[in-house]
Amino acid sequence: MKFTVVTILPELIEPALAAGVVGRARDAGTISVATVNPRDFTHDRHRTVDDTPYGGGPGMVMKAEPLLAALDAAAPRGDAHRILLSPAGAPLTQARVRELATLPHVVLACGRYEGVDERAIELGIDEQISIGDYVLSGGELGALVIIDAVARFVPGVLGEAASVDDESHSAGVLEYPHYTRPPELAGHAVPDVLQSGNHAAIAAWRRVEALKRTAARRPDLWARLAPTAGDRKLLAKAGCAALPARTHVALVHHPVVDRTGAVVTTALTNFDVHDLARSAMTYGLAGYHVVTPITSQRDKAVHIAKLWIEDQHGQHRAQALQLVRVAASIGDAIADIGPDTVVVATSARPGAFPGARRTTAPELVADLAFDPRNVLLLFGTGWGLAEELIPSVSRVLEPIDAGTGWNHLSVRSAAAITLDRLFGRST
Ligand code: SAM
């Protein structure tokens, strides 16, 4: 595979590619790297490649003509894939790296100054790539990053073909931890399983560690990961049931506040019993607790659920309504679920529950993925949960916010949106 770097600083490229895996691949002829300097395509005494920006503003802009001529010298348009390194490009991913490794010739154009005349991009570039959300002073380091990452996928560059497939980002998970001799270092031992010689046990341990690490360090990756049936089995064996299956919701009628901030007990709403049960069922939750201190209201909730269960015997709605339980207080609901339950509050108000850890939905899911405890999500009726009367809350979800400045959702809607953010599969 061939790389051509178009740069006004070719001296930055060569030293970084002289040694290691890439250096050996160049020596073996598996990959080749050349440079082309836009300064060689200027026609003035100073070999000028930049000029002041139209419209004013700080800094200089790379001129289009020398850059386009250098790109053509690297490879005529269509004969190679031309990439411009740009902080405004698409973020580089391992999936894109793998695709680039299938191309015979990649040209990497490096910007300098404030950037590149837009017409050079329109006329001469096929793709723009960023190597991260920060700004470098030039594209050369980005070009080196791409060459290094892509070369590893070129057949013959790495010894074992399998080593690229196992690595972080290859399948949306981070890689498991590695160990080598000695077996113990400053009180830190190599895990026994790695010394057991049991290859199936080692593979299982590595997969669980990779999943744990991904959840702990990259909630964004964890949110996109769909654990396989094999993963679910491994996690269950490691004592971690899937999060929805140990998550409960509570619809709280007391203690909640009214519009004046006074603590009140609200009345049960028929729809709430019914609709939250269906949402809870959709997302695979373990239970739905209707919390009210008023006995007749609890009886009413049980009655509503029973009506649907009997009327719809064995059908979808009946299954959902079977999730309904009642409790006189949040404490009673927790006692019903189990004493060691993580209580998560929801609120429309930013800054609610100041003593609790604020969290987004993906952070919460990643944070609790390997915590074996049950989870109780509290939804308040009325004007919301009476915060100071609910000391058991350890985490609070960020309010639902669509940027309109108005977020007074019905509790049924808020619960449905929240459950989808936590457990829904985006397409
Ligand atoms: N003014 C530009 C902007 O805000 O998008 C930044 C120009 S930067 C100082 C100069 C050059 O460095 C860019 O044209 C690009 O080639 C390269 N560069 C800077 N940051 C980069 C990144 N994160 N990924 C890829 N290339 C980058």
- The string of DSSP letters for 254-270 reads SSEE-TTS-EE-PPP-H
Which residue from 388, 398, 392 is spatially nearest to 346, judged by alpha carbons?
398
Predicted pLDDT of residue 325:
98
How many angstroms is it from 112 CA to the middle of ligand 1?
7
Q: Which residue has the tokens 């960023």?
A: 130
Ligand 1 atom nearest residue 92's Cα: 24
Residue-by-residue pLDDT tens, the chain, 427 positions: 999 999 999 999 999 999 999 999 999 999 999 999 999 999 999 999 999 999 999 999 999 999 999 999 999 999 999 999 999 999 999 999 999 999 999 999 999 999 999 999 999 999 999 999 999 999 999 999 999 999 999 999 997 655 777 778 878 999 999 999 999 999 999 999 999 999 999 999 999 999 999 999 999 999 989 888 999 999 888 888 999 999 999 999 999 999 999 999 999 999 999 999 999 999 999 999 999 999 999 999 999 999 989 886 667 788 999 999 999 999 999 999 998 999 999 999 999 999 999 999 999 999 999 999 999 999 999 999 999 999 999 999 999 999 999 999 999 999 999 999 999 987 5
Q: In which element (H, E) is residue 366 found?
A: helix 361-368
Q: In which element (H, E) is residue 297 found?
A: helix 295-311
Q: Tokens at residue 411, please? A: 């509790």
Cis peptide before 53 (omega within 30 of 0): no
Which residue from 158, 12, 139 is spatially nearest to 98, judged by alpha carbons?
158
Cβ atoms 104, 2 nearer than 8 A: yes
Ligand 1 atom nearest residue 135's Cα: 20
How many angstroms is it from 68 CA to the middle of ligand 1?
18
Question: What residue ranges line ligand 1, CB within 6 angstroms?
Answer: 85-88, 110-112, 114-116, 130-132, 134-139, 142
Q: Which residue has the tokens 């070719």?
A: 10
Q: Which residue has the tokens 């010739």?
A: 105
How many angstroms is it from 97 CA to the middle of ligand 1?
19
Predicted pLDDT of residue 312:
67
Predicted pLDDT of residue 320:
94
Strands 287-291 vs 247-252: parallel, antiparallel or unpaired: parallel
Q: Kindly list the distances between the CA atom of residue 101 and the CA atoms of 96, 167, 176, 202, 310, in Å, as whole numbers in the listed order.
A: 9, 16, 25, 31, 61
Residue nearest to atom 12 of ligand 1 (CA): 138
Residue nearest to atom 19 of ligand 1 (CA): 136
Which residue type is seen at 400? I
Predicted pLDDT of residue 162:
54
How many angstroms is it from 90 CA to the middle of ligand 1?
12
pTM above 0.75, yes or no: yes
Which of 13, 85, 131, 145 should be mutated for ligand 1, with most atoms under 8 A from CB?
Answer: 85
Ligand 1 atom nearest residue 132's Cα: 23
How many angstroms is it from 87 CA to the middle of ligand 1?
5
How many angstroms is it from 113 CA to the middle of ligand 1?
8
Cβ atoms 309, 271 nearer than 8 A: no
How many angstroms is it from 12 CA to the middle of ligand 1?
16
Q: Tokens at residue 356, please? A: 């609790």
Residue nearest to atom 9 of ligand 1 (CA): 137
How many angstroms is it from 424 CA to the middle of ligand 1?
36
- 3-class secondary structure, 205: helix
Looking at residue 314, what DSSP letter applies? T
What are phi and psi for residue 72, nearest 5 degrees? -65, -35
Which of 135, 137, 140, 146 should be mutated for ligand 1, with most atoms under 8 A from CB?
Answer: 135
Cβ atoms 72, 115 nearer than 8 A: no
Plot region of 194 (φ>0 → left; ψ -120 to 50 → alpha; else → beta): alpha
How many angstroms is it from 129 CA to the middle of ligand 1?
10
Cα–chain-centroid distance for residue 180?
30
Which of 8, 71, 108, 136 should be mutated for ligand 1, with most atoms under 8 A from CB?
Answer: 136
Ligand 1 atom nearest residue 134's Cα: 23
Predicted pLDDT of residue 413:
97
How many angstroms is it from 220 CA to the middle of ligand 1?
25
Predicted pLDDT of residue 170:
78
Predicted pLDDT of residue 161:
55
